[in-house]
Structure formats: structure tokens, C-alpha cells
Amino acid sequence: MTGFILRWGFAFLLLAATFNPTEYNYVNWVRDYGNANLSIAVLTALILGIGYIIYLRATLRSIGAVGMLLVLAVVGAGLWVLYDFGVLRLDNASFNLWLGLIALSFVLGVGLSWSHVRRALSGQADMDDVDQ
């Protein structure tokens, strides 16, 4: 369980570092200061890109695009239930963006953790395709 929380947390940090409703994110920084610090902007973009490649590749290999949509649909349905019962209000745009970041990071966290979940449930390990 702690492994999943760590993977989910790192996915959230990756997404939030790229963009969030505050002024402290990569997109706003590049827009305001990127021309003056082009080398740092490019290096940071490459590091963020590597993070996205790792998460997206692992997620697509483990649960696929349909699995990603299903996990996102379950999260969306859960948010809908919370909204219907009055637990969640959606009148704050910043809060809605944070909810979106949490939902997307959950999808990436599940994708990166799915092989561990499958092994725990079935006792079978997943292996990458190996050329013979």
C-alpha cells in the first residue's frame, strides 16, 4: 500500500510541477522567465518529459488506454457521487483543477502499480516482452 501511495504521490508531484492553479509551476515559470533562463527551461522540460515517459509507458503497458479510461471513469463517478450527496462543491475553479490533477495522478499511480496488484492477486508476475 505504501508503494502505491509513493507512486501516486510522485505522479501528483510530476503533474503539479508542470501545471497547477498557483503561480509556482513550470508552465508559468517558462512563460515569465523562460527566455532569460533558456538552458534551465530546457533541462527542466527534459526532466519532466522523462518523468512523463516513465509513467505513461508503464501505465499504457500495464492497463492500456482502455484501462486508463476505466480508472478515470471510476474516479469521475466517485466525484459525481460526492457531488450528488453534497460532500463536494464544484464552484471553485482552482479546486476543480486540483481535483483534476488528483484524478490524473491516480490514473498514473494505478498504471504504475498495476503489475504489483496483479501479482498480489493472482500470484503471477508480469514480464516485459523479450526478444529471443
pLDDT tens column, 64-102: 999 999 999 999 999 999 999 999 999 999 999 999 999
* Weakest-pLDDT range from 46-50, 69-73, 95-99, 116-120: 116-120
What pTM was estimated for this model as a whole?
0.85
Rounded Cα distance, 12 and 117, in Å: 20
Q: Does the pLDDT value for residue 129 go beyond 60? A: no
Per-residue pLDDT band at 127 (split at 50, 70, 90): low
Per-residue pLDDT band at 123 (split at 50, 70, 90): confident
Grid coordinates representing 74 are: 471510476
